[in-house]
Structures are given as C-alpha cells and as structure tokens.
Chain A
Amino acid sequence: MSVTQEQAFSPANPDSAAIKVAAHDVSVFYGEKRALDGIDLDIRVNEVTALIGPSGCGKSTFLRSLNRMNDLIEGCRVTGNITLDGQDIYDVELDPVQLRARVGMVFQKPNPFPKSIFDNVAYGPRIHGLAEGGDALEEIVVGSLERAGLWSEVKDRLKEPGTGLSGGQQQRLCIARAIAVAPEVILMDEPCSALDPIATARIEELIDELRQNFTIVIVTHSMQQAARVSQRTAFFHLGDLVEIGGTEQIFTNPKQKLTQGYITGRFG
C-alpha cells in the first residue's frame, strides 16, 4: 500500500525546500524476505525527517539504506534508486566509505571508541585527511564538541576515555564524532532510547540546532519525540510508506486511518 509523495503530502509551496536525498521505488530484501516495498520518499535539506512505525516496519532498514550500511549485511539487496544531491549512492564507482563521510550515522546505543574523548572526535578527520597539522585538527575537535553541546563539560578532560562519560554525554560525543567529518546528512537510529529524559532533552535541543547546517533523518519509537524534533514525519508499516507529511499535520490530522490508528494507540 505504498503511496507517492504527491498522494501523501501537498505542501503549500512544494518548491520551498530543496531535496537532499531522493528515494525512488526503493525495495530492500533480506534474502527472499522483502523488508521494504517500493518506497518513494524525499528528504529535504536542513530539515529533520522523522521515521516512525511499529517494530519491523522497515524504518531502520530504510535509514540504513541511505548510507549503504545495508551493504554490510549478508544477503541484503537494495533495488530502486537513491540519490544524494542527484548522485546515485548505489553507483558501483562510488566509494561507500566516502559516502558515509557525507552521510553520517548515530546509533541507538552510544558507542564511543575505547579512546580518549579527543581521539574519538579526531579519528574521522584523521582517516579522511581533513586536517593539516595539529592545530587544524584541534580546531575541528573543539568546534565539533562545541556544536554537540559537550565542550563545556569535557574541555578539562579531553585525554580521559570517552567510555567514562555518562550515557547522554557519550551520545553527544558520538554526535560530535559524526559531525567532525563535516557530513551533509546525519542519520540517527533511536538516538535517545538509552537516555534519561534530561539527556534526551539535550539531544533534542542539539538536533534542532544541528539542522541549521545538516539534513537529519531520525528513526524513533517515541511519537512525542518525532513531534518535537521533526519538520516532516513518515509513517512506515509492514515495509510500506503509509504516509508522509508535515509533522504538524501528521500529529493533528493524519490523512490515513492506519497512521491515525498508530499514533493514537488504536492499532493492531
């Protein structure tokens, strides 16, 4: 029951936002099992797009297909077309490592490297050759920690292990690590599900600030979080994109009964 963008969402001014990532007729298979079925979904630049839906609906699969993380899963096959600024990200000549520098990812559970706070953030710029000399690298690290809202908390302990931080700080460290390589898109897979409400609020505030410079796609099980942080919301169910629309519209007056059933708790 896939719907097209045109069927699902008619913004007042459809040209108002440029498309950063465009997915057209995307299906994903794990072996014989089809996890996503012909998804058409555009991600707009400098907006937060939330993907919601029950477990197993395909939202994380779709997220992972946006930076080819699915390539790492044996037996996974992606059909259809996904472009980043018009460039096919599944082009055989495109280096997935370079793609993942442009499309960064933050995971459900904070996963800092077993290194110092400084080195966690410096790792990406080093391997991608983004900094010439120590000063430039330090500038990137400090800038990334500042943008992740962590600098004031860690500036005096940069040599301490990242794993020694609290859960919320670790997740912000992972965000700093992601933005240190100057990505264009940040994918977030339930980034607050392991955090307490205060740490969650800090991350949500950060997401809102980051969207000024980045395009963000977030998978979340928290409907309230989707409502708070995103400008557009897409509802997935059983591998289909049921509805995508402005977040305000989805949470006040969804067009599809299935969406209404899910967000209001009358489902299944």
Chain B
Amino acid sequence: MPHIVSSFDQKIARLEGTIERMGVLAASQLDRALDALERNDVDLARAIPPDDAEIDALHAQLDEQVILFLALRAPVAVDLRTAITALRIGGELERIADHARSIAKRVLALQDTPAHPPVQPLVRMGRTVHQLVVGVMEADKMRAPERALEIWHQDQAIDTQYSGAFRELLTYMMEDTRLLAACSHMVFLAKDIERIGDHATNIGEMVYYRETGQTLGMARPKADTTAFPPEPVD
C-alpha cells in the first residue's frame, strides 16, 4: 500500500534506485574484469577505472540519502529496515567493485610474469560469483527473501571452488618455483573472487532481514578450508 505522504515513497524509491545503479556498476565491473582475465586482455583490464569514482560517488550519495531519510522521516518497521539495510548493501557493493578492480590489477601484474598456470578455474569461479551478485541484486529489486536465502546457501559452493583453486596453485608452486610470483597473484585473485561471494551473501542476508524482519542468525555454512591447519601425519 502506498504511503499517505507520497514524497515518503519517492524518498524510498530514490534509495532503491541508487542501490540498483550501484549493483549494475559493480556487476559490470566484475564482468569486465573476468573478461580481461579470460582473454588476457590488457586493454580491457586498464579500462576498468582505477579509482571507482562513480560507484564511490553513488555510495556517498546513498549515505546522504539514508541520513536525511532517517533524520527527516523517522521511519519505523519495514521502512527503518529499508534505510538501515540500504547503508549496509551500499557498503557491500562498494567492496565488490573494489575487489573487481583488484582482479583487473592482477591481470596486469600477470603480464610481468614469465608464465602462469591456466586461469580457467578462476574464471569459472568468477562467473559463478558474478551470477550470485546479479541474482542477489534481482532478489533485492524483487523484494524476494526466498531468492536471497538461496544465494546465501550458494556461497558454500564458491568456498569449495576457492579451496580447490588454492590447493591447485600450491601444487604449481611446489613443482616449479619460477611460477611463484604468478601463482601468488592468482591466489590473491582467487581470494578477491571468494570475497565478492561473501559480499553477495551479506547482501542476501540484508534483503532477507529487510523483507522478513528476521536475521539469518545461524553461522553461514563455510566450505573454505584453506585457513585450517593440516591434519597431523602419523
């Protein structure tokens, strides 16, 4: 049902519009970074803006919109949750764009290495994460908590892929020390992708909370085991 004061709904629509625009930019930046990685396209990697000026400006604009909305409209219930989650979703999208930019930088760094292992596993992982980002922004726009919950669960698959990629890169490093620099860049690159998955999942949590008023309190299922100490050998 529309608000009795139509300008109230207009303010919320502006918040949603800013978030949508940030989501489109972040997803596009990730897509282009992955294209650059897949095709080893230096020009494309260089074309990704190094300072994220547009998304940073939108983030600042979003913060200002939310602060004014809270100060002037004193929202409650779902409107309050909308304002608070807008702040947090904006932060997550800004971080996604940062990681996408970092991926592009790693593509450039790989150019300075004599050789590197195949990037396809990382590209595949990146495409899966890109789908998560696009999907969670659709869930946001459609106000679909069930869809957000699905994405929340899918992060586990990303963690599994990340653990696999990490171990594979370790084997390359052990086999040929000349690949150490390239593999190190690729480990960081894999971590960037994995972190984007986490940010998409966080957005899913925010959408779920905004729409239902319930937090996804239980710990998210994690399948990234790269930080676990190895089992002792008998």
Q: Do A and B make up one complex?
A: yes
A residues lining the B interface (CB < 8 Å): 223-224, 227, 251-254, 260-261, 263-268
CB of B227 closer than 8 Å to a CB of A: no
Q: Which of B2, B4, B81 has the most CB of A within 10 A?
A: B4
Q: A223 vs B4: C-alpha distance in the bound complex, in angstroms?
A: 15
Chain B nearest CB from A267 CB (Å) reads: 7
- Supposing A252-B213, A253-B213 touch, asked if A265 and B8 sit within 8 A by C-beta, the answer is yes
Q: A260 vs B211: C-alpha distance in the bound complex, in angstroms?
A: 13
Chain A residue numbers with a CB within 8 Å of B77 are 251-254, 260, 263-264
Contact A251 B76 (CB under 8 A): yes
Q: Is the interface of A mostly helix, strand, loop or mixed?
A: helix
Contact A268 B4 (CB under 8 A): yes
Q: A252 vs B77: C-alpha distance in the bound complex, in angstroms?
A: 4
Chain B residue numbers with a CB within 8 Å of A261 are 1
Q: A227 vs B77: C-alpha distance in the bound complex, in angstroms?
A: 11
User: Which 9 A-B residue pairings sit nearest by Cβ, starting from the closest?
Assistant: A253-B213, A266-B1, A251-B76, A265-B4, A265-B3, A263-B76, A260-B77, A264-B79, A264-B77
Chain A residue numbers with a CB within 8 Å of B24 are none
* Chain B residue with Cβ nearest A227: B76
Contact B74 A267 (CB under 8 A): no
Interface bin, chain B: 10 to 19
Q: Which of B7-27 contact A (CB under 8 A)?
A: 8
Contact B4 A267 (CB under 8 A): yes
Chain A nearest CB from B195 CB (Å) reads: 30
Q: Which of B2, B75, B76, B80 has the most CB of A within 10 A?
A: B76
**Could you mark each residue 65-100 of chain B with 1 if its beta carbon is under 8 Å from any beta carbon of chain A, else 0?**
000000000111111110000000000000000000
CB of B5 closer than 8 Å to a CB of A: yes
Contact A265 B78 (CB under 8 A): no
Among A223, A267, A268, the residue within 8 A (CB) of B76 is: A223
5 A-B residue pairs with Cβ-Cβ distance under 8 Å, sorted by A, are A253-B214, A264-B3, A264-B76, A266-B3, A268-B4
Contact A252 B76 (CB under 8 A): yes
Contact B2 A266 (CB under 8 A): yes
Chain A nearest CB from B26 CB (Å) reads: 29
Q: A242 vs B139: C-alpha distance in the bound complex, in angstroms?
A: 31
Chain B nearest CB from A25 CB (Å) reads: 29
Chain B nearest CB from A112 CB (Å) reads: 32
* Chain A residue with Cβ nearest B1: A266
Chain A residue numbers with a CB within 8 Å of B214 are 253
- Supposing A252-B77, A252-B81 touch, asked if A265 and B5 sit within 8 A by C-beta, the answer is yes
